[in-house]
Amino acid sequence: MAVMAAALLAAACSAGLSSTGSGGSPAAGEATSTTAQLLAYTQCMRSHGVPEYPSPGTGGQMQKITSGQQVGVSDAQLSMARDACAQLWPYQDLTQAQQQQEIADAVKFAQCMRSHGVPKFPDPTSGPNGRAEFVLSASRDGFDPQSPQILAKVRECEQGLPASVLPGSPEGVEVTTTS
């Protein structure tokens, strides 16, 4: 959970690239399942002509591949492999109902942060991909997102949130820090 807490308030988390969980919790089962899905996706990509497609890292982190050049193939080959393996990608787009639930859960997280002594913690917004996102600014919001005190409050407030909302998880809330 500490990794997720740090990821929440790190300088630039990406909603599409990391996941963690700890033993015994529901998030652990989801992370294990996600990692298994990512491994299956990786094998599929390799079997469809992208032999250098990277494996997921510990905790389910995936390197973002934006061009075929990164993995030694043409963009067309990468696109064909992605199309063939799309059903295995664990981070599918959210339905409207899922988007609404994610925003509602992220609002609960923000309210918890405010009730735990971070009065200017912002409410989430809906990002361009429909996912909840927080935009944090140390100068505007009056706190250092990476301070041990703030991270301790994050750990308190993330309890009970679904893994899909936990910042730092691939399907979770995106956090952007501005100056």
Spell out the domain ranges in the chain.
2-16+93-178, 28-88
Token reading at 42: 């990786």
Q: How far is CA 148 from the centre of its chain?
A: 21
pLDDT tens-digit profile of 102-147? 888 889 999 999 999 999 999 988 876 677 888 888 888 888 888 8
pLDDT tens-digit profile of 69-113? 999 999 999 999 999 999 898 877 778 888 888 888 889 999 999
**Residues 99/125, Cβ–Cβ less than 8 Å:** no
Please say if the pLDDT value at position 168 is more than 70.
Answer: no
Please say if the pLDDT value at position 13 is more than 50.
Answer: no
**Residues 132/94, Cβ–Cβ less than 8 Å:** no
**Residues 76/68, Cβ–Cβ less than 8 Å:** yes
* Residue 174 to residue 179: CA distance in whole angstroms: 17
- Dihedral of CA 64/67/71/77: which sign? positive
| Nearest alpha carbon to residue 20 among 44, 12, 29, 11 | 29
Cite the beta strand spans of 32-173 per DSSP E. 125-126, 132-137
Secondary structure percentages of the chain, helix, strand, coil, to 5: 45, 10, 45
At 174, which helix (H) or strand (E)? strand 174-178
* Residue 95 to residue 25: CA distance in whole angstroms: 25
